[in-house]
Amino acid sequence: MGLTRLEIRNIRNLHSVSVEPGQGLNGLYGLNGSGKTSFLEALYILGRGSSFRSKDLGRVLQDGTQQFLISGKLSPQNISIGVEYQAQGVRYRVDGQTVQSRLELAGQLPLLFISPESHALISEGPRQRRRFLDWGVFHVEPGFMPAWRRYQRTLKQRNRALGESGVETAWDHELARAAEEITQLRRDYLERLSPFVDRFVQRLVELDSISLGFTSGWRQGHEFMEILQESLAQDREYGFTRQGPHRADVIVKVGNHPARDTISRGQQKLLVIALLLSQVALMNEATLRRPVILVDDLAAELDIHHRQRLLAVLSELQAQVFLTVTERQALPFSDDIAVRWFHVEQDQIMPV
């Protein structure tokens, strides 16, 4: 699957762009500030309904404009998807119909983003690792999103009720059921992912004994219902539920030590790429679908040897990939890898 056509209007320095990408590797090159990352940002918004640069989509608007539009045609589904922003709000469309949730976009266009900051998945706190985990579970396990919505809805009701003695416990049974379901789906997914991680780590980065651990977000060895009852007094004091799946984490280790304390920033980036590409391979095996992969500034912090390795792996995945570099020579493609090139200059994206 992939995009056969993409239209972008009024995204940062991209005023009016139409692109017909290839179904394999697509390379975009041009000077810094020419619009390469803005192009990837538009694709990201189309697939996820949000930006990787700003929480406020209004900041994505080109100066002097009041609305933006991003639309794409998907193959082999032969459907269109789009995101339109105006002062009144954001509108998501699937095949001409307005949909209520950006999750419906994500379901149509699974999308992964690799950037020079991708190492943060390992080096920073658990929020990004939860997002990494839940993206994968969402696309592989149909039961995950209903359980997650039940959990979030019930969690808000319990938090709102904290302080009203006896009222908050009315939500505990439903909260515990949803929490246990989410946690089991997450554990099962990580177990399925681990063999793929081993394979891609061997291909991309010289590291031994990589392991993925999981913490559920509450004290190990206890049922969540028990935790809710034990922590009620402190939850009342703080005004929110302090333990649960919303505090879960994925523990990435090299040997017996956390990866963030053991390996260099460049190795962290390669390890994160291996984790993300493992999700692509698992999703393809489980659902016969391949996400679109965005790679911003591929050459950053990667020597030519590791760039060659990564390009070979990306080509073998047979996914639609969009790569940005300042110069074409930064991507050392072998002769047997086909690439569709685009030159980005002064808000224009032209096929080469």
Query: Tell me: the pLDDT tens digits for 112-131?
Result: 999 999 999 999 999 999 99
Sheet with strand 89-94: strands edge to edge? 14-19, 2-11, 68-75, 79-86, 89-94, 97-99
DSSP one-letter string for 175-237: HHHHHHHHHHHHHHHHHHHHHHHHHHHHHH-----EEEEEE-SS-TTS-HHHHHHHTHHHHHH
Which residues, at least 6 apart from 289, have a Cβ–Cβ distance to it below 8 Å? 1, 110, 139, 283
Query: How far, in Å, CA of 272 to CA of 275, rounded?
Result: 5
Report the pLDDT value the prediction gives residue 290, as an integer from 0 to 100. 87
DSSP notation for 58-99: GGGBPTT-S-EEEEEEEETTTEEEEEEEETTEEEEEETTEEE
CB 140 within 8 A of CB 282: yes
Whether 255 has a pLDDT exceeding 80, the answer reads yes
Most confident of 202-206, 215-219, 314-318: 215-219
State the sign of the Cα–Cα–Cα–Cα dihedral 277, 122, 294, 133: positive
pLDDT confidence of residue 139: 96
CA angle 79, 85, 91 (to 5 degrees): 50
Kind of pairing, strands 321-325 and 292-295? parallel
% of residues, the chain, pLDDT over 70: 99
CA distances from 294 to 40, 237, 266, 324 (A): 7, 44, 18, 9
Q: Which amino acid is at 90?
A: V
Domains delineated in the chain? 1-110+291-352 (3.40.50.300), 122-289 (1.20.1050.90)
The alpha carbon of 128 is separated from its chain's Cα centroid by a whole number of angstroms, namely: 9
pLDDT, tens digit, for every residue of 5-63? 999 999 999 999 999 999 999 999 999 999 999 999 999 999 999 999 988 899 999 99
Percent of the chain predicted with pLDDT > 90:
79
Q: Please list the residues that pair with 16 across neighbouring strands.
A: 9
- The size of the chain, in residues, is 352
CA 64/CA 110 separation, integer angstroms: 32
pLDDT in tens, 193-208: 999 999 999 999 988 8
For residue 81, what are the β-bridge partners? 72, 94
Closest CA to 304 of 323, 339, 332, 326: 332
Quick check: 167 pLDDT over 80?
A: no
pTM: predicted TM-score of the whole model, two decimal places: 0.94
Greater confidence (167 vs 92) lies with 92
Distance, first Cα to last Cα, the chain: 23
